[in-house]
Amino acid sequence: MQLITGQTIQKKPIDCLHFINGEYQSSVNYKTFQNINPANEEVLGTVAEGGAEEIDLAVQAAKKALKGPWKNMTANDRAVVLRRIGDIILERKDELAALESLDTGKPIWLSSSIDIPRAAYNFHFFADYMRSLGTEAYQTDDVALNYSIRRPVGVVGLINPWNLPLLLLTWKLAPCLAAGNTCVIKPAELTPMTATSLGKICREAGVPDGVVNIVHGFGPNSAGSALSEHPDVDAISFTGETTTGKVIMAAAAKTLKRLSYELGGKNPNIIFADSDLDEVIETTMKSSFINQGEVCLCGSRIYVERPVYEQFVEKFLAKTKELVVGDPFDPKTKVGALIGEEHYQRVTSYIELAKQEGGEILTGGKRPAGLDKGYYIEPTIIVGLDRNCRVVKEEIFGPVVTVIPFDTEEEVIEQANDTHYGLSASIWTNDLRRAHRVAGQIEAGIVWVNTWFLRDLRTPFGGMKQSGIGREGGMHSFEFYSELTNICIKL
């Protein structure tokens, strides 16, 4: 296949099959759907379209595997397998990065320098971390000794979004396996390729058959809903839209499944006048436009203290105009293509809405010149909007930010919290007391001070309000992926 730059990255169609009980399989009725390259709208290949039957086959394989060799492995042996998965991902980094960029439209530098290495690190981290955790023990006077033991939850459904496909899938899969569970993965229908490769990698690394199963398909009335309501699935870890989370919760309620949710965000990026503006702008370029703004943590609501508002806008605008939008495989590209037609329409409709709501588009807001095929939108800065506008309140999930001035600390805290989301926030200030004071009042699961997206995998990750339920990361992942039994011995 010829990409826009004329490079030949893909010579033949890449077809994606389910991975059930250690084998690649078609759907029972051979049903498939097409996988479209968002960068040029060409067909990349076909994807097996699973539904209730394939999900049931996968769940039964996972249930059986809970009692097999996986159960009898020590935590140390499982850690060896997990480390090997991480090693193989790194060995195949270039191939996996190319697949990820073909599927998502994201720049190849991003896939190869962040997404794929981080996917490997998820396995390396949880392989070792889980072995370092202990459990509680209490002596009840001289009457009894209590201690807790952990065991796997059972069969876990892992339902994934398209924006960071392998990174987010492995963020769930690594702790899920380290805690001894088996699983059924439902990758996003728009990005099936790296998940498909992961089946083979797990097999090569020594994961027993049936422990990791992958079923492709859509969400509603398809593989997603079948997994959410399957009676033999004990827990669901879901990352995706808040509205989808509500539907999955209703389906999972019938069998009271344990749920972990990482949902949408509309995150404030709060810039006080005493911060170092050059440093702020360097990071704000990333928190606004990296991965085409298709990151749940993107700081798409920018609030700037009035004394530096004009200066910030001028510098930020100049830097944004320098961003190269285009072919994901061109090393000069900083912003690639949006994921697909439907999402492109959604993002452009918000830009139109911004105009109707009285906003001024300082830059962007349209398809870049010369890119007639593919789902490209220029990075877009909008000013002049009122805090109550829909564009300021709703998640757009594209390269679109709003910039609003503020006068007082109280006012900006109130505006930052005026949303049903509560995922993350960034605060920029050189005043230490203010940093602590404001950080403690922002309603978000993660608050960064003078930085953005700096992650330590031991820390709790997740959102409050309608941005999520529970936390993953470090011991929090272990809490979700394991069951506790307290044993009380009378002395």
SS3 407: coil
Q: Which of 15, 23, 241, 394 binds ligand NAD (CB under 6 A)?
A: 241
Q: Judged by CB, which is closer to ligand NAD: 165, or 364?
A: 165
When asked if residue 389 is in the footprint of ligand NAD (CB under 6 A), the reply is no
When asked if residue 447 is in the footprint of ligand NAD (CB under 6 A), the reply is no
**Separation between Cα atoms, residue 279 and residue 37, nearest integer Å:** 35
Q: Which of 364, 374, 399, 463 binds ligand NAD (CB under 6 A)?
A: 463
**Separation between Cα atoms, residue 257 and residue 251, nearest integer Å:** 9
Convert residues 135-164 into a mask of x (bound to ligand NAD by CB under 6 A) and - (unbound).
------------------------xxxxx-
296 is catalytic: yes
Q: Judged by CB, which is closer to ligand NAD: 224, or 364?
A: 224
**Separation between Cα atoms, residue 208 and residue 248, nearest integer Å:** 29
Convert residues 468-487 into a mask of x (bound to ligand NAD by CB under 6 A) and - (unbound).
x-------------------
Convert residues 362-381 into a mask of x (bound to ligand NAD by CB under 6 A) and - (unbound).
--------------------
Q: Which of 45, 107, 180, 224 binds ligand NAD (CB under 6 A)?
A: 224
DSSP 486: E
CB-CB contact of 21 with 61 (8 Å): yes
Other CB atoms within 10 A of residue 25 CB: 16
**Contact positions with ligand NAD (CB under 6 A) in 165-184:** 168
Other CB atoms within 10 A of residue 368 CB: 16
When asked if residue 106 is in the footprint of ligand NAD (CB under 6 A), the reply is no
262 is catalytic: yes
The amino acid occupying position 206 is G
CB-CB contact of 237 with 185 (8 Å): no
**Contact positions with ligand NAD (CB under 6 A) in 42-71:** none
Q: How far is the CB of 424 from ligand NAD (least distance, A)?
A: 9
CB-CB contact of 224 with 218 (8 Å): yes
E strands in 231-376: 235-239, 258-262, 268-271, 301-305, 360-363
CB-CB contact of 201 with 88 (8 Å): yes
When asked if residue 424 is in the footprint of ligand NAD (CB under 6 A), the reply is no
Q: Which of 49, 189, 262, 479 is catalytic?
A: 262
The amino acid occupying position 391 is V
**Order of all β-strands in the sheet with 400-406:** 360-363, 380-383, 400-406, 301-305, 268-271, 424-428, 446-449
When asked if residue 266 is in the footprint of ligand NAD (CB under 6 A), the reply is no
Q: Which of 107, 208, 265, 473 binds ligand NAD (CB under 6 A)?
A: 265
**Separation between Cα atoms, residue 448 and residue 454, nearest integer Å:** 8
Binding span for ligand NAD by CB under 6 A among 67-75, 83-91, 98-106, 256-264? 256-264
* Residues contributing to the site for ligand NAD (CB under 6 A): 159-163, 168, 186, 188-189, 218-220, 224-225, 228, 239-241, 244, 247-248, 262-265, 296, 395, 397, 423, 463, 468
What positions carry a catalytic annotation?
A: 262, 296
